[in-house]
């Protein structure tokens, strides 16, 4: 009889609808390539070792990597990872060894998993999804902005996280706490306005064909938003360009950048791009929204063709705010004049701000920037990606 019951139990599980987002945890890569990490909590800590043993610590835990493992407070651990939890309260993380000096402490909730990888440490925060969103919103948008804009940002951040969690289920983390994905600063910056924006949209995501979308967002479109296919070669029906006349008051609606040719050459070479003395830099292919998709660089050893987004990545996203630019002058110094900030795919944050101030709801803002989508409860969504 036990075998029969097991058969029917397995069959029922197979027949259940795929809703899988009942799991409300997200795994966030906080730090990588660290040589020393310190974790503390006012209420003390517990550390679970790879063999399942749990130890209690009243003071801070300091971890360092070893070949094939790590030490905790000077004692070698038999394995490559430990899980740290607070006995009561938040966790404070200090990165004291990543080659750039000690950084500002990061305060988070949930648990922390330390992994030894390649002679350094990697730190992953497993945290409640809604608490994670509260740590993203003030890092990506000013909490002083209109509540409807903050709500739009909260829903977009939640949707992006769910999409990445589905995509990276086999990886050690779902997404990074940096601009690589979306900036997450733990408990920093969370105020009443942020709390309200997240709580009032709790459990809502932007969906297409009953799955969370790739919810891209950037600062300032300064013109039509961009088709995702032109930026990431992702031809997604809900990431098509729309008119965006709402962000003219954004601080980087217009910008100029001056690049010394010698510095440009050195930057390319440091990143493995083989160039000689640069003679000219010319945009020669544009998207229908007017952004540079291809750039031609003539140099003493030949010709280099770069994608516009690759040019931004190599030179620095803060130096070249967008691919919507012209070459103003070319000599010992190259001067670019441009508009907008970011990749301009999906939600325009400054556009959302202006729309909210003109009385549009967060739901209307999201429907505008992600055409063909709908707001849905996360518990009803499928893990199948569109």
pLDDT in tens, 144-167: 999 999 999 999 999 999 999 999
Q: What is the pLDDT of residues 4-16, one digit of tens each?
A: 343 333 333 333 3
Q: How far apart are CA 121 and CA 226, in angstroms?
A: 37
Q: How far apart are CA 232 and CA 237, in angstroms?
A: 14
* Same-domain pairing of 68 and 125: yes
pLDDT for the residue 122 = 95
* Same-domain pairing of 352 and 213: yes
Number of domains the chain is built from: 3
Q: What is the pLDDT of residues 73-122, one digit of tens each?
A: 999 988 899 999 999 999 999 998 554 445 689 999 999 999 999 899 99
pLDDT for the residue 78 = 83
Q: What angle do CA 314, 124, 348 make, to 5 degrees?
A: 50
Q: How far apart are CA 339 and CA 225, in angstroms?
A: 12
Structure token pair of residue 152: 């739009």
pLDDT for the residue 384 = 66
Residue 188 lies in a domain: yes
Work out the average pLDDT over 232-257.
Answer: 96
* Same-domain pairing of 284 and 144: no
* Same-domain pairing of 213 and 353: yes
Residue 248 lies in a domain: no
Residue 239 lies in a domain: no
* Same-domain pairing of 120 and 154: no
Res. 21: pLDDT tops 80: no
- The residues near 45 (Cβ < 8 Å, ≥ 6 apart) are 39, 56, 57, 60, 61, 84, 85, 86, 87, 91
Question: Predicted confidence band at 197 (pLDDT cuts at 50, 70, 90)?
Answer: very high
What are the start-end ranges of the H helices in the chain?
Answer: 2-15, 129-140, 147-167, 192-200, 228-232, 261-270, 308-315, 349-357, 362-369
- Among 106, 129, 152, the domain boundary falls at 129
Average predicted confidence (pLDDT) for the chain:
91
pLDDT for the residue 104 = 83
* Same-domain pairing of 125 and 136: no
Res. 202: pLDDT tops 70: yes
Q: How far apart are CA 12 and CA 380, in angstroms?
A: 18
Q: What is the pLDDT of residues 32-53, one digit of tens each?
A: 999 999 999 998 999 999 888 9
Q: How far apart are CA 93 and CA 123, in angstroms?
A: 10
How remote is the C-alpha of 235 from its chain's centroid? 20
Check if the beta carbon of residue 347 is closer than 8 Å to that of residue 216: yes
pLDDT for the residue 385 = 65
pTM of the model: 0.89
Q: What angle do CA 364, 160, 244 make, to 5 degrees?
A: 40
Q: How far apart are CA 174 and CA 334, in angstroms?
A: 39
Residue 368 lies in a domain: yes
* Same-domain pairing of 323 and 260: yes
* Same-domain pairing of 68 and 102: yes
* Same-domain pairing of 86 and 57: yes
- Among 112, 129, 146, the domain boundary falls at 129
Structure token pair of residue 143: 């909490």
Work out the average pLDDT over 183-187.
Answer: 97
Q: How far apart are CA 18 and CA 210, in angstroms?
A: 11
Boundaries of domain holding 45:
25-129
pLDDT for the residue 23 = 64
Residue 13 lies in a domain: no
Pairing of strands 81-86, 75-77: unpaired
Res. 306: pLDDT tops 60: yes
- Among 80, 97, 129, the domain boundary falls at 129
Residue 229 lies in a domain: no
* Same-domain pairing of 107 and 159: no
Residue 19 lies in a domain: no
Structure token pair of residue 6: 């097991």
Residue 103 lies in a domain: yes
Res. 141: pLDDT tops 50: yes
Phi-psi region of 96 (alpha: psi -120 to 50; beta: other; left: phi over 0): alpha
* Same-domain pairing of 169 and 261: no
* Same-domain pairing of 271 and 326: yes
Write the CA distances from 319 to 130, 188, 264, 297, integer angstroms: 33, 26, 11, 18
């Amino acid at each position: 009889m036990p075998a029969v019951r097991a058969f029917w139990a397995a069959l029922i599980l197979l027949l259940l609808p795929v809703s899988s987002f009942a799991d409300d945890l997200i795994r966030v890569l906080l730090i990588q390539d660290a040589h020393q990490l310190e974790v503390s909590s006012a209420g003390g800590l517990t550390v679970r070792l790879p063999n399942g043993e749990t130890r209690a610590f009243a003071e801070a835990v300091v971890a360092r990597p070893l070949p094939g493992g790590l030490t905790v407070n000077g004692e070698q651990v038999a394995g490559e990872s430990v899980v740290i939890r607070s006995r009561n309260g938040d966790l404070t993380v200090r990165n004291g060894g990543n080659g750039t000096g000690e950084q500002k402490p990061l305060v988070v909730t949930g648990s922390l998993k330390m992994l030894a990888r390649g002679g350094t440490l990697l730190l992953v925060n497993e945290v409640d999804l809604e608490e994670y969103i509260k740590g993203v919103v003030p890092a990506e948008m000013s909490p002083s902005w209109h509540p409807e804009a903050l709500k739009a940002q909260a829903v977009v951040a939640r949707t992006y996280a769910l999409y990445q969690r589905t995509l990276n289920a086999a990886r050690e983390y779902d997404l990074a706490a940096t601009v690589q994905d979306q900036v997450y600063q733990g408990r920093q910056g969370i105020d009443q306005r942020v709390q309200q924006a997240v709580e009032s949209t709790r459990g809502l995501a932007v969906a297409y064909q009953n799955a969370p979308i790739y919810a891209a967002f950037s600062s300032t479109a300064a013109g039509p938003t961009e088709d995702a296919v032109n930026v990431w070669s992702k031809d997604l029906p809900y990431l098509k360009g729309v008119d965006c006349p709402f962000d003219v008051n954004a601080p980087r609606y217009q910008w100029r950048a001056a690049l010394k040719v010698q510095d440009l050459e050195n930057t390319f070479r440091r990143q493995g791009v083989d160039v000689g003395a640069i003679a000219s830099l010319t945009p020669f292919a544009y998207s229908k929204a007017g952004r540079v998709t291809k750039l031609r660089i003539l140099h003493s050893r030949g010709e280099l063709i770069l994608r516009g987004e690759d040019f931004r990545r190599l030179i620095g996203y803060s130096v070249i705010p967008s691919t919507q630019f012209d070459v103003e002058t070319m000599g010992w110094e190259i001067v670019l004049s441009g508009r907008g900030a970011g990749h301009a795919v999906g939600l325009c944050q400054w556009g959302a701000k202006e729309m909210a101030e003109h009385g549009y709801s967060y739901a209307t803002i999201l429907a505008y920037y992600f055409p063909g989508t709908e707001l849905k409860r996360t518990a009803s969504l499928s893990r199948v990606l569109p």
